[in-house]
Amino acid sequence: MPLRTIVKVSHISNLSDARYCAGMGVEMLGFRVIPGAENYMSPEVFQDIRGWISGPKIIAELYGLTSQEQIDTVIRTYAPDFFELNYTEYRTCGHLLTLPCIVYFPLVAESVSVKDERKISHILVDEQTTCKDIPATRPVLINVTSEKKLNEKLAEGCFRGFVLEGPKELRPGVTNYDQLGGILEALEED
């Protein structure tokens, strides 16, 4: 069944997780693409995964971005549909980015001061953010960590989508999808 809102799963780390999410109707898959970042996905492993999935948009999570060379490498080796980075990195490197951006704002009020908003496709906020905290400049995605938080945020009604963290592999080929699956099932259209 399709999901009733945009869903992005971050920190995808293996083929099983990518295929599970694609099969559940997730619209966006996030991969950490800057060497040294937690959950970094090497280009070789990513290419193996990319060949097995279709449908979801690919998000290059640029946390830790420091140079134009990194951006060029990411575009060439990952061919993403979107970039994701935090507000500080966007302020520093936003003028170098050529794709739409999902920008994480730890403090939502900062979003008002963004100079070049045309590259920002979505604002990303943490789950403690409420509708009254949100400026109406861009669609807002919100990180959620549980089905309870998801239901609270759905009831608020102002968020365009939800960002979930990919599950951790217990050992190669073995992952518990109970929490992620519960949230995705709660978002299925009736």
Cα(71)–Cα(98) distance, rounded to whole angstroms?
9
Helix (H), strand (E), coil (C) string for 8-44:
EEECCCCHHHHHHHHHCCCCEEEEECCCCCCCECCHH
User: Which secondary-structure segment (H or E) carries 120?
Assistant: strand 120-125
pLDDT given for residue 169 in this prediction: 73
Give the tokens for residue 98.
């050529």
CATH superfamily of 6-186: Aldolase class I (3.20.20.70)
Q: Name every residue whose Cβ is closer than 8 Å to that of residue 9 and which is 6 or more positions away in sequence.
A: 17, 21, 26, 28, 29, 30, 163, 164, 165, 166, 180
- Does the reported pTM lie above 0.85? yes
Closest CA to 179 of 52, 24, 30: 24
122 SS3 class: strand
Cα(92)–Cα(74) distance, rounded to whole angstroms?
17
* pLDDT per position as a tens digit, 114-159: 555 778 899 899 988 888 877 667 788 999 988 899 999 989 888 8
pLDDT given for residue 108 in this prediction: 63
- The dihedral built from the CA positions of residue 153, 159, 160 and 162, taken in this order, carries a sign that is negative
pLDDT given for residue 38 in this prediction: 87
**Cα maximum dimension of the chain:** 46
pLDDT given for residue 5 in this prediction: 92
**Stretches in the chain below the pLDDT threshold 50:** 112-113
Per-residue exposure over 79-95, b if at least 16 CB sit within 10 Å of its own CB, e if not: ebebbbbbbebbbebbe
Closest CA to 53 of 83, 80, 77, 29: 29
pLDDT given for residue 115 in this prediction: 53
